[in-house]
Structure 1
Amino acid sequence: MARIVFDLDGTLIHSAPDIRTIANSILSEERMELISLDETIDFIGNGASVFIEKMRAARGIPDADHDRLLTVFQDRYETVLELTAPYPNVRESLAHLIVAGHRLGLCTNKPMRATRAVLSHLSLTDPLSVVYGGDSLDKRKPDPAPLLATLDDLGTGPCLYVGDSEVDAETADRAGVPFLLFTEGYRKTPAEDLPHLARFSDFAELPDLVQAQLEVIA
């Protein structure tokens, strides 16, 4: 059976509304204009530090404030979970893949403590036997190292990576891992412009898609 690794934000879960809430609580305290949901999504993908960097740049906040704001952001990141939810049919799809004998892992740029917190809150911990966060290694996506480490920990066999973004597509390409693109996440680039083996818009499609693609790459 296959090793299947998932991205988190924009792939398994829609977390942008809560991330926006956290960011805007900080901006309000800094007496800065709040960010929109579109801006929030645009800033997501390369980890918390890059999110804060982009937020600061958008609002003209000095570089000297970066570490302070990042600390506040990360502290709140683990507790603001009211609006975050799995995408439709994620739970059912993961359960189907487990029953089919596949081994599932997670590779995200979200910090590990926040990753564990949201997985626990949403009861998504059990299907994912290996989890790498953005601070698990000294490199993060799109460097291929975290994805390759996740796959190594899952054992041997055919592999697939499932993600939603330009970062995920580049990570898979650099790792030499077949990529399945979830089209309803936080991607900014047209789907046809990203390297991918196949794409899907509903997690209900994923089990059959995985089976079909494994026959192709076998």
Structure 2
Amino acid sequence: MNILPLDLSSFDAAIIDLDGTMVDTIGDFVVALNLMLDDFSLGYVTARDVEAMVGKGSEHLIRSTLRHVRGNEADEALCDAAWQRYTHHYLVINGRHSAVYPGVLEGLEALRAQGLRLACLTNKPNDFARPLLAAKGLDGYFEFVFGGDAFERKKPDPLPLQKTCAALGTPPARTLMIGDSSNDAQAARAAGCPVVLVTYGYNHGEPIRGVDADAFVDSLAEISPPCPAARP
């Protein structure tokens, strides 16, 4: 199914993912993870490694990174220590090695101009997500920002979308989910939200067009159709 061009009058709100959808944060992840690994003399990861591991929350990312460099599962003590060091480093470098994707500002402006209420929903911890949005000048677009630690469960569980719809006061069927991965699509499907996926993000190393979604776009600017040109 493809619902583009969108009739935005069918929606009251949009929920938008952060990493891989609005901001390319792989550089931040790589730097923070490698600083963490250096603290334990455990080697390093590359951007390609991280692209396949990111998207399911920081705890999953740290465990996956430790497994990748060690070749086996890390014990809880190492995971806890790694989390502390990762948090320390990430808060220092947050946003310094990342960039807003082309078309994001135009897309957000167009959605807001159509009267849609906007929320950012990410598996990134709140303490990372909010400063990043502020650093990139995106925070003013959103009524709500919910990180991966805002609710009892993370995407792909539908609970975060259900809770975000409740905060917005909009029914799921009239709330568009915009993301970059199967996590976003699975959560949206289970919550009853239509879903559009961007083609440039992080989908655990898998082709994005193989994911069950209503539409795919190469830029957020494509989601809202351009205003018709004025007649001379």
**3-state SS of paired residue (2:157):** coil
Secondary structure of residue in 1 paired with 2:123: coil
1:79 aligns with 2:92: yes
In structure 2, what is the equivalent of residue 180 of structure 1? 196
Aligned length: 210
Contact 1:96 1:207 in 2 (8 A): yes
Q: Mark the runs of 5 or more structure 2 residues left unpaired by the alignment.
A: 1-10, 227-232
CA distance in structure 1 between the aligned counterparts of 2:121 and 2:79, rounded to whole angstroms: 25
What CA deviation, in whole Å up to 9, does each residue of 1:75-114 have, x standing for no partner? 2222312111111011121012111111111110000011
Query: How far off is 1:10 after superposition?
Result: 0.4
Deviations 1:54-93 (A, max 9, x none): 0010111732300111122122222312111111011121
- Which amino acid letter does the alignment assign opposite residue 21 of structure 2? T
- For residues 91 and 110 of structure 2, what CA distance do their matches in structure 1 show? 29
Using the TM superposition, give the Cα deviation of residue 180 of structure 1 relative to its aligned residue in structure 2, in angstroms.
0.2
Aligned residue for 1:192?
Answer: 209
For 2:209, what is the secondary structure of its paired residue?
helix
The 1-side partners of 2:216 and 2:184 are apart by: 13
Letter of the 1:117 counterpart: P
Letter in 1 for 2:20: G
Measure how far apart 1:133 and its partner are: 0.5
Q: Residues 166-185 of structure 1: CA distance to partner in whole angstroms, max 9, x if unpaired?
A: 21111112112111010100
Which amino acid in 2 is paired with 1:70? W
Match of 2:81 among 68, 76, 81: 68
Q: Find the aligned partners of 1:191 and 1:13 in 2 and give their Cα distance.
A: 17
Q: Which residue of 2 aligns with 1:115?
A: 129
Match of 1:2 among 6, 9, 12: 12
Aligned-partner SS, 2:15: strand
Structure 1: runs of 5+ lacking an equivalent: 210-218
Contact 2:121–2:147 (CA under 8 A) maintained in structure 1: yes
The match for 1:138 is 152
Question: What's 2:50 paired with?
Answer: 40
1:180 aligned counterpart, secondary structure: strand
Residue in 1 that maps onto 2:5:
none
The answer to whether the 8 Å contact 1:106/1:128 transfers is: yes
The whole-number CA distance in structure 2 between the counterparts of 1:190 and 1:89 is 21
Aligned to 1:216: none
Q: How far off is 1:156 after superposition?
A: 2.4
How many percent identity over aligned positions? 31
Q: Tell me the amino acid that sits aligned with residue 204 of structure 1.
A: A
Q: Which has the larger radius of gyration?
A: 2
One of 128, 134, 147 as aligned partner of 2:161: 147
Partner Cα distance (1:113, 1:51) in 2? 16
Residue number among 150, 155, 162 corresponding to 2:178 in the alignment? 162
Cα deviation code 1:88-146 (max 9, x no counterpart): 01112101211111111111000001111101111111111111110011111111111
What corresponds to 1:212 in structure 2? none
Using the TM superposition, give the Cα deviation of residue 208 of structure 1 relative to its aligned residue in structure 2, in angstroms: 2.2
The 8 Å contact of residues 181 and 208 in structure 2, kept in 1 or not, is answered as no
Cα distance between partner residues in 1 of 2:36 and 2:199: 30
Amino acid at match of 1:50: H
Tell me the TM-score normalized by structure 1: 0.91
